[in-house]
Amino acid sequence: MANINTRKAVMTLFSSPTCAMSHCARLVLFEKGVVADIEYYDPSEPPEDLLEFNPTGMSPTLIERDLVLYDSRIIMEYLDERFPHPPLHQMDPVSRANARMVIKRIDQEWYLLLDEILHSGEKKSARAKKMLKESLIAATPVFDARAYFMTDEYSLIDCALSPLLWRLPSVGIDLPSLGKAINNYAHRVFAREAFQESLSKAEKEMG
């Protein structure tokens, strides 16, 4: 178990130590400096105190008093609204909607391929790895255009994307092979204090 702050926490995040979606939720917690307990567990053997609140045992699960949330993107949005400083979404509705669409595309295109790499047979995994690498390289102009992904300020989009990039070397995709723009972006977000603090022991080994 990791405690973000020495004060007693009223919020607990149950998290897989290796799941990218769980990492996204943890990253937002650390970016916000939220007082919370992080309880790492094996999703195949969820602890009884988690099952009491969430019978699915899904990771991540956020519990705050009577509130139980168990979808990574919902948890991220909730934390950004619950703790508005520093903001990770832009304030105007159009920008927020556009950011949500970008995250949805990241999930549907890149995370889907990462899932295939991790959980498919050798042939399908190799195909997904090739497709993910090619898709990321095709997005090089987006990585190169601004300081962060499609924005000038660090945002929830970066919280959604950086855990995926962190896992690439562990699945055989070297960041330098994706080009200078993507490699520079990755190192920029990885260097953030909150990102480093959000890493579980198992995730540190991925890097």
Active site residues: 19
With 0-12 / 13-18 / 19 or more C-beta atoms within 10 angstroms meaning exposed / middle / buried, residue 197 is middle
Between CA 109 and CA 70 the distance in angstroms is 22
Q: Report CA-CA distances (Å) from 186 to 13, 106, 131, 142, 201.
A: 25, 15, 19, 13, 20
With CA atoms as reference, report the closest residue to 198 among 41, 42, 25: 25
Cα radius of gyration rounded to whole Å, the chain: 17
